[in-house]
A and B are shown apart, each in its own frame.
Chain A
Amino acid sequence: MILKGEHLFVTGGAAGIGEAIVLGGVKEGAKISFVDIDDAKANALVEKLTSEGHQVQYQKADVSKFETFKAGYDKLVSTFGPVTVAVSNAGRNSYADAVEYAEEEWNDFFALDLKSSWYLAKLCLPDMRKKKYGSIVNISSIHGRMSRPNFFPYSAAKGGIIGLSRNLALDEGKYGIRVNSVSPGTTATPLLKSYMEKFPDEKAHALSVAPNARFGSPEEIANVILFALSKDASFITGADLMVDGALHARYA
């Protein structure tokens, strides 16, 4: 159990990779707090894990707005105590046309896919600095360094996450806090499903270019995130850990 004694905080913990982090995190011994916007899914997950004897709690919070994010976070910390390890996971895709895109759409998208990672750091760092201990993982994507047509401006937000993680790693290292990004490739999540529905030809293409001919599972991504959070990764910081079945090693 590599996370025994940790209080793990996750954004977007009710579905996809976030849910896999919650499910894997309790097995690794952590108590877990998460936020999401899907009450039904989140409550069902808490109920299931609590009935199995795990310490898991949830608050509804929109992480793209600092005040609501903070309100949810403060409630969670008031019951479980300071967060020791955290994952900024919540996000969505974007398929915009650079000309048609409205400024408000841009602002909303970046508030969720990039700014919320800063918000998470802003909320978690004070307690971590006090304890001289902590580990943060921000979920980027293969799009942080390579992209595909029709994803504007997803790649900008995900590239931003890698840079943000480096900045934080350099500045928080003196407090014993590690900050890394994890970059999944094609992963079988609800987000991928919605992408495949929007672009039906992409599924066959994605499978044909995957070096091991399959998509990743949320559990496979979560395993790497939990490892990066743990003391087993004590000398990894400022790194971008790719988890994509070697997709980034090849061009189109």
Chain B
Amino acid sequence: MTDKEWDDFFAVDMKPVWLTAKLALPAMRKAKGGSIVNICSIHGRLTYPGFFPYGAAKSAVLGLTRNLALDEGKHEIRVNAVSPGYILTDLTKGWLAAESGRTERANSIQPLGRMGEPNEVAKVVTFLLSDKSTYVSGSDWAVDGGLGARSA
């Protein structure tokens, strides 16, 4: 990995989480209310060979979420992370297709016996943005079908 590759990667996978907050917080502070959800990943806590430095970027998203939750709580702004596992997005589908056997292995390790659908993550994000979750902040909610509960 070159220095530029590192910078480019973190500029996409981590910095925009801060930039989103930077843009959204002024109006939320003024309104004395708001809710932000940062999409993290199971890689925020556990990772898999060959993913360097994705785990670092995603762990950073969790740290950033905690920092923001502590500092913005006094403005009634909640900040949380949602950490999906294997979700059948285009990104995941491409990764699964890139090497034979990946799909079979991915399915075989799922505690629910299947990978997730994008709308199953979206429903959790919607809940965390809503006024049904008014005491949830600084949290990292795994939406990974139990994968993060299992070791290799």
Q: Is B150 at the interface (CB under 8 A from chain A)?
A: yes
CB within 8 Å of A: which of B109-140?
A: 110-113, 116-117, 120-121, 123-124, 127, 132-140
Please give, as numbers and ranges, the residues of chain A lying within 8 Å of B134 by CB-CB distance: 220, 223
Cross-chain contact B74 with A241 (CB below 8 angstroms) = no
Cross-chain contact B111 with A245 (CB below 8 angstroms) = no
CB-CB under 8 A for A249 and B69, given A173-B146, A241-B141? yes
Q: Which of A239, A242, A243 has the largest number of chain B CB atoms within 10 A?
A: A239
- Taking chain A's interface residues, is the majority helix, strand, or loop, or is none over half, making it mixed? mixed
Partner of A239 from B76, B136, B141 at Cβ < 8 Å: B141
Q: Using a Cβ–Cβ cut-off of 8 Å, how many residues does chain B contribute to the interface with A? A: 42
Cross-chain contact A237 with B135 (CB below 8 angstroms) = no
Please give, as numbers and ranges, the residues of chain B lying within 8 Å of A173 by CB-CB distance: 110-113, 145-146
Distance from B81 Cβ to chain A, minimum over Cβ atoms (Å):
11
With both beta carbons as reference points, the residue of chain B lying nearest to A187 in the complex is identified as B135
Q: Is B142 at the interface (CB under 8 A from chain A)?
A: yes
Q: Is A199 at the interface (CB under 8 A from chain B)?
A: no
Cross-chain contact A169 with B111 (CB below 8 angstroms) = yes
Cross-chain contact B146 with A170 (CB below 8 angstroms) = yes
Cross-chain contact A246 with B69 (CB below 8 angstroms) = yes
CB-CB under 8 A for A235 and B143, given A211-B74, A242-B136? yes
Cross-chain contact B135 with A174 (CB below 8 angstroms) = no
Cross-chain contact A238 with B111 (CB below 8 angstroms) = yes
CB within 8 Å of B: which of A209-252?
A: 210-213, 216-217, 220-221, 223-224, 227, 232-239, 241-250
Please give, as numbers and ranges, the residues of chain A lying within 8 Å of B149 by CB-CB distance: 165-166, 169-170, 237-239
Measured in the bound complex, the distance between the Cα atoms of B123 and A178 in whole Å is 16
CB-CB under 8 A for A176 and B112, given A211-B69, A239-B148? yes
Partner of A227 from B65, B85, B127, B150 at Cβ < 8 Å: B127
Measured in the bound complex, the distance between the Cα atoms of B78 and A243 in whole Å is 11
Cross-chain contact A243 with B116 (CB below 8 angstroms) = no
- Would you list 30 pairs from A and B whose C-beta atoms are within 8 A, ordered by A residue? A166-B146, A166-B150, A173-B113, A176-B112, A178-B112, A212-B73, A212-B76, A212-B78, A213-B74, A221-B135, A232-B123, A232-B124, A235-B112, A235-B117, A236-B141, A237-B111, A237-B145, A237-B146, A238-B145, A238-B146, A239-B143, A239-B146, A243-B136, A243-B139, A246-B78, A246-B139, A249-B65, A249-B66, A249-B138, A250-B70
Pairs of residues from A and B, 3 with the lowest C-beta to C-beta distance, nearest first: A246-B138, A238-B149, A211-B73
